[in-house]
């Protein structure tokens, strides 16, 4: 800019420091970082302005961009012990900084740098607004820029509106709509239209329901940006509209017919029957005009004749458009299922689009697929996961009544197709929709099983693999129903599949058996047990019958896991196979020492533990010492930092040995408890970074946005902590008085665990653990009055302030069970009785307030969110029952009991709509 705001010597020094920051030499860069921190510590205002000035005067786009990014990070970064740099600046300096940035926003010639300026300007504007200091000069300049004759200037203006919609919130609605509509209809630039679309979505999302009613007309030009676009530009536009559909789905209600006129052509290419009937429909007269996959020539938009070109179109630009359209329809279906469930054509289009996409597998990668380890399968990158996942999401959102009819209008023909890819897709589709449609699917389950089981004899291995996947998923999503009614048909197909010649297929058949065993009655499994175990042992140790045959490691890992589940399901009956299997597992634990065998060793440990429980103490006892010694050796071996499974599996396996041996496990507690307590007492591992700070994705971590920061939480460590609490519960409940020496130490972990809000599993495990610990302490004579008082005080305090109705029930049950252990309500001190009554009274008031607020919402919102609200209300009803039970036990005042009973009168009538569209699964 023309005027200089910092002395030349400061500008020169800042220029040198900033230039050093981007050098590759670590020593120079580290020295420059220290220099920045030092200058900002001593003279923050001068160096903030120097960096801002450099962002407008540097010779290269790289340095101008870098300076703007650095400025953002420095301004709003705050350490735990100090305020942000922005809050240290005086009003004149902030005004100067704003003036520099406004100059850059208006005059920066390079689009990439201007985008960085926009980011910095929007952050500064939002931060200033939070501090009660609106940036009026920015508002007037942006309105002028939105009306500029320069395309890049207009785009920058709408980018600013998108980043800080508060700039226009206080203006007349008609004026705002006029500005945004002009941008949406910009004749010169698609980029301007996209920026205006983002601004429009940000504006609508910032409004409350009453304000939105005044701005509904904006939806017409907003959606009209889509049809006129070249396909290459559609995906980002669709992505922005999808954001609005997710957050404000009700805005789309009047536009569903128009969307249905536009979207199908994006999702399902037009198919001409052509001179020959499609092989996808062996019976052309019975299946409409559905064809898989669409002929390549008919999916091209540029008229090219080459089939190869057509493939590129489908897998490239056109496929991105299809995925964008599918994601929009799926997201809107999830956000407002009741709004779309009965719309004629909507569900059919989405389902058909998913099925078409699922049928587009690569024809020529079967050989590679057969040889690949499932964990390292390169062909998986080309698998149409997004279509399969979308079908699952739509089924879960819209339910069986809506999804099953259109799905099964197509699936039978797919299963009868001459193209293996369509047969594969049909089976995977049944698996994908099973969860969301389970209630309705039960009524037709016999027909579905009849469709699926013949596919186990398909000539193509990937179809047989898909049949295993389908049956396994049905066993999970329709658990017990499938196993009880159709075990004969399923075993007749699944057991022979264990002898399939392809490792991928027989390993997946073994995996499907796990799903079956998880919901099977022991009596149902027993007749098949011998033939299952015989085939699994052949897969685990093929050298016993064929010395030349070497099993694949992933097959052995899967077979060991399946044997564990079969043993668990068959219980004591499995004892007849114990001597054939346990020596093999102990041999694996003894000798599988290389890093490539770590997963196999873990599987062997867990399997041996489950078998020990299944066969019982007497059968397991002769091998128990060997097993324990192997576990101790593994536990005491040098830790491998890359082995994330071992610690988790050791804790789980020790728990299984405890369950198998019962009180005989007590001598091993000094070995087991120290690492277990170490994991249970671990703190949450959290990293905090600024929004624009680069941070790599790490396995076992999740990132959430909170107060302008990205917060990383190490979820893998939280799962380990939860497992440790659950394992402590197993040890305490199994050993009872023999666990006495550890009661005090574990109670010190369990009581704070009730308030471990970032992982509900830890909270629930703590609530179950506490009464068991009190029982252990009472039985062993280690329970003190201080422990009892601390426990009851913590439970009362947590009960009074708990806002989650589900965990409130757990807390009340924990209190009730603890009181019973201590001698019943009569043994309770008056202060604790009064405390729990007061906590329950507070919860009654909070539940009443929530229910009244819910009843005051618009009727249409209640209808559209009926299923979610019904679930919330059901959870609350359970909590109300627990409150009533607790108050009756405590002999609470009658008026409080009447208040609890009156909560039922505040519940909403959420009965099914009269049109019979259940919408459920």
| pLDDT tens track for 131-174 | 888 898 999 999 999 999 999 999 999 999 999 998 888 788 88
Which CA distances in Å does 220 have to 223, 430, 462?
5, 38, 47
Q: Across the beta sheet with 701-706, what order do the strands follow?
A: 686-690, 709-714, 701-706
The closest alpha carbon to 106, from 95, 94, 118, 97, belongs to 118
Backbone angles phi, psi at 689, to 5 degrees: -135, 160
**Rounded-to-integer distance, Cα 709 and Cα 689, Å:** 6
Query: Count of CB atoms within 10 A of residue 229's CB?
Result: 17
Rounded to the nearest angstrom, the gap between the alpha carbon of residue 263 and the centroid of all alpha carbons in its chain is: 27
| Residue 187, both tokens | 């004749």
E strand or H helix at 671:
helix 669-680
Would you call 347 exposed, middle or buried from its count of C-beta atoms within 10 A (0-12, 13-18, 19+)? buried
Length of the chain counted residue by residue: 921
CA dihedral sign, ordered 529, 534, 535, 540: positive
DSSP per-residue letters across 122-190: HHHHHHHHHTT---HHHHHHHHHHHT-S-HHHHHHHHHHHHH-GGGTTTS-HHHHHHHHHHHHT-SS-H
Burial 393-431 (b: 16+ CB within 10 A, else e): bbbbbbbbbbbbebbbbbbebbbbbebbbbbbbbbbbbb
Question: Whose CA is closest to 375, among 509, 506, 514, 553?
Answer: 553
Q: What pLDDT is attached to residue 257?
A: 94
- List beta partners, residue 714: 701
Q: Is 230 helix (H, G, I), strand (E, B) or coil?
A: coil
Alpha carbon distances (Å) from 812 to 370, 768, 770, 884: 54, 11, 12, 10
Q: Give how far the C-alpha of residue 660 lies from the chain's centroid of Cα atoms, to the nearest Å.
A: 35
C-alpha closest to that of 561 among 494, 519, 508: 508
Closest CA to 423 of 280, 233, 241, 270: 280
Going by C-beta distance under 8 Å and a sequence separation of 6 or more, which residues neighbour residue 683?
none
List the one residue out of 736, 735, 747 whose CA is nearest residue 666.
735
Collapsing DSSP to helix, strand or coil, 571 comes out as: helix
- pLDDT for the residue numbered 78: 63
Structure tokens at 892: 């609470």
> What six digits make up the tokens of 124?
């500064």
C-beta of residue 788 within 8 angstroms of C-beta of residue 834: no
The C-alpha angle with vertex 359 and arms to 358 and 363, in degrees rounded to 5, equals: 125
Helices (H) and strands (E) in the chain, counts: 43, 3
Q: How far apart are CA 157 and CA 138, in angstroms?
A: 10
Tokens of 505: 């297929």
In whole angstroms, give the CA distance from residue 397 to residue 914: 20
Tokens encoding 240: 């922005």
Q: Which residue shows structure tokens 């068991």?
A: 772
How many other β-carbons are positioned within 10 Å of the β-carbon of residue 307?
12
pLDDT in tens, 392-401: 999 999 999 9
Q: CA-CA distance, 794 to 258, in Å (whole number)?
A: 57
Looking at residue 269, what is its pLDDT? 66
pLDDT tens for 614-634 read 999 999 999 999 999 999 999
DSSP 676-705: HHHHHTPPP-EEEEETT------TTEEEEE
Q: Among 426, 473, 414, which residue's Cα sits nearest to residue 282? A: 414
Give CA–CA dist 121/115, Å, rounded: 10
User: Which pLDDT score is estimated for 425?
Assistant: 96
- Alpha helix segments (H runs only) across 207-276: 209-213, 219-223, 234-247, 256-267
Nearest to residue 685, comparing CAs of 754, 759, 750?
759
Taking 50 as the pLDDT cut, the residues of the chain under it are 1-2, 80-81, 272-313, 315, 691-694, 913-921
CA nearest to 356, candidates 294, 427, 449, 278: 294
Position 633 scores a pLDDT of: 93
| Separation CA 338–CA 420 (nearest Å) | 36
The torsion of the CA quartet 495, 496, 499, 502, rounded to 10 degrees, works out to -100
703 bridge partner residues: 712
């Amino acid at each position: 800019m023309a005027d200089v705001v910092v002395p030349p010597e400061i500008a020169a020094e800042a220029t040198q420091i900033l230039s050093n920051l981007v050098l590759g030499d670590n020593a120079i860069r580290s020295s420059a970082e220290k220099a920045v921190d030092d200058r900002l510590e001593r003279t923050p205002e001068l160096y903030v302005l120097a960096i801002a000035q450099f962002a407008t005067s540097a010779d290269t786009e790289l340095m101008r961009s870098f300076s703007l990014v650095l400025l953002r990070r420095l301004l709003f970064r705050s350490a735990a012990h100090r305020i942000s740099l922005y809050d240290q600046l005086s009003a004149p300096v902030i005004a100067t900084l704003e003036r520099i940035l406004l100059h850059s926003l208006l005059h920066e010639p390079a689009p990439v740098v201007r985008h960085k300026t926009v980011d910095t300007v929007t952050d500064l504007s939002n931060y200033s607004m939070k501090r009660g200091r609106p940036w009026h000069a920015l508002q007037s300049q942006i309105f002028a820029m939105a009306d500029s004759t320069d395309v890049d200037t207009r785009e920058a203006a709408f980018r600013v509106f998108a980043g800080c919609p508060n700039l226009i919130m206080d203006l007349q609605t008609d004026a705002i709509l006029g500005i945004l509509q002009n941008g949406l209809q910009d004749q010169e630039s698609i980029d301007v239209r996209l920026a205006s679309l983002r601004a429009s979505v940000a504006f609508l999302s910032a409004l409350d329901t009453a304000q939105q009613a005044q701005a509904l007309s904006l939806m017409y030009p907003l959606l009209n940006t889509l049809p006129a676009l070249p396909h290459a530009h559609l995906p980002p536009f669709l992505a922005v509209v999808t954001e609005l559909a997710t957050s404000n789905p009700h805005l789309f209600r009047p536009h569903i017919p128009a969307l249905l006129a536009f979207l199908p052509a994006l999702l399902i290419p037009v198919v001409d029957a052509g001179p020959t009937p499609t092989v996808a429909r062996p019976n052309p007269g019975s299946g409409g005009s559905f064809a898989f996959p669409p002929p390549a020539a008919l999916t091209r938009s540029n008229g090219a004749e080459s089939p190869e070109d057509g493939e590129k179109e489908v897998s490239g630009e056109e496929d991105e458009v299809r995925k964008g359209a599918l994601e929009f329809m799926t997201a809107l279906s999830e956000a407002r299922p009741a709004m779309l469930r009965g719309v004629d054509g909507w569900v059919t289009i989405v389902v058909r689009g998913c099925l078409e996409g699922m049928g587009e597998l690569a024809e020529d990668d079967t050989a590679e697929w057969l040889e690949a380890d499932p964990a390292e399968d390169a062909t998986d990158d080309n698998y149409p996961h997004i279509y399969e996942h979308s079908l699952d999401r739509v089924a879960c959102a819209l339910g069986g009544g809506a999804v099953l009819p259109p799905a099964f209008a197509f699936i039978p023909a797919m299963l009868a197709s001459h193209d293996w890819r369509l047969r594969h897709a049909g089976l995977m589709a049944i698996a994908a929709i099973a969860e969301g449609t389970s209630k309705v699917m039960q009524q037709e389950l016999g027909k579905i099983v009849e469709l699926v089981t013949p596919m186990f004899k398909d000539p193509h291995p990937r179809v047989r693999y898909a049949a295993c996947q389908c049956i396994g998923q049905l066993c999970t999503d329709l658990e017990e129903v499938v196993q009880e009614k159709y075990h004969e048909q399923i075993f007749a197909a699944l057991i022979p599949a264990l002898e399939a010649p392809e490792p991928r297929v027989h390993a997946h058949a073994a995996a499907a058996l796990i799903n079956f065993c998880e919901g099977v009655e022991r009596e149902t499994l027993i007749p098949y047990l011998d033939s299952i175990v015989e085939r699994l042992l052949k897969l685990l140790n093929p050298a016993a019958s064929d010395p030349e045959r070497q099993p694949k490691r992933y097959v052995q890992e899967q077979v060991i896991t399946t044997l564990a589940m079969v043993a668990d399901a068959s219980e004591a009956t499995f004892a007849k196979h114990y001597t054939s299997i346990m020596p093999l597992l102990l041999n694996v634990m003894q000798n599988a020492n290389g890093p490539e065998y770590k997963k196999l060793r873990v599987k062997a440990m867990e399997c041996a533990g489950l078998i020990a429980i299944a066969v019982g103490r007497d059968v397991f006892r002769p091998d128990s010492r060997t097993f324990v010694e192997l576990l101790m050796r593994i536990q005491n071996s040098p830790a491998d930092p890359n082995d994330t499974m071992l610690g988790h599996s050791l804790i789980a396996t020790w728990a299984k040995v405890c369950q198998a041996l019962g009180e005989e496990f007590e001598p091993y507690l000094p070995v087991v408890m120290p690492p277990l307590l170490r994991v249970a007492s671990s703190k949450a591992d959290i990293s905090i970074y600024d929004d624009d700070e680069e941070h790599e994705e790490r396995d076992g971590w999740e990132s959430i946005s909170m107060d302008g920061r990205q917060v990383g939480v190490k979820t893998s460590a939280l799962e380990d902590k939860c497992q440790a609490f659950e394992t402590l519960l197993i040890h305490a409940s199994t050993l009872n008085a023999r666990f006495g020496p550890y009661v005090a130490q574990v109670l010190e972990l369990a009581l704070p665990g009730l308030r471990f809000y970032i992982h509900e599993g830890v909270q629930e495990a703590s609530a179950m653990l506490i009464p068991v610990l009190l029982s252990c302490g009472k039985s062993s004579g280690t329970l003190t009055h201080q422990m009892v008082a601390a426990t009851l005080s913590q439970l009362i305090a947590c009960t009074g302030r708990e806002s989650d109705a589900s965990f409130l029930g757990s807390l009340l049950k924990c209190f009730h069970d603890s009181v019973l252990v201590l001698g019943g309500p009569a043994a309770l001190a008056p202060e604790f009785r009064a405390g729990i009554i007061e906590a329950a009274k507070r919860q009654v008031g909070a539940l009443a307030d929530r229910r009244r607020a819910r009843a005051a919402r618009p009727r249409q919102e209640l209808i559209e969110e009926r299923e979610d609200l019904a679930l919330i209300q059901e959870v609350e009803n359970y909590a109300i029952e627990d409150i009533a039970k607790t108050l009756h036990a405590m002999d609470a005042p009658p008026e409080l009991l009447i208040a609890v009973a009156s909560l039922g009168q505040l519940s909403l009538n959420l009965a099914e709509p009269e049109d019979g569209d259940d919408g459920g699964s």
